[in-house]
Amino acid sequence: MIAVGGYYLNPLPDVLVRASDPIAGGVGGSRQELCGALAGGVMVLGALWGRVSAQEDDKVVYDLAKRFRERFAATFGLTQCGPIRDAQPEAEKRCGAVVEKAARMLVEMIEEQRQQTPFRGAYPSSG
């Protein structure tokens, strides 16, 4: 998911890569919490449209995060790492198919939203 961020935030800030590292595998590999693909996608949305002060409006990024979560849950049936991973065919237990589908959803949402709302900050217009 952070690779999607790298596409839009070229160059990808090291801090985003580091901050996303422990969310993999349902938080630290526990498989007990939010799927890392969902969490990473939300982080990318925040990096593109999140606010940096309380005076800024965060409605756009909240709406995007909510819609991404809803699409994710509709696709995979839930948002928790372990059950999503367990539902994958044996050959795909490493989550590759989940990450790929989630990344496609994320890119679709980013492309739809950036037509209406430009990225915050000085991000290049990738793509």
DSSP state at residue 52: S
Residues 6 or more apart whose Cβ sits within 8 Å of residue 88: 95, 97, 98
Give Cα 51 to chain centroid, integer Å.
16
pLDDT, residue 91, reads: 65
Amino acid in position 120: R
At CA 79, angle to CA 120 and CA 73, rounded to 5? 80
Domain extent, residue 58, equals 2-114
| Two structure tokens written together for 127 | 């793509």
Angle between helices 96-114 and 36-49 (to 10 degrees): 20
Instruction: Name residues of the chain where pLDDT drops below 70.
Output: 91-93, 121-127
pLDDT, residue 92, reads: 59
Q: Indicate whether 127 belongs to any domain.
A: no
Domain count, the chain: 1
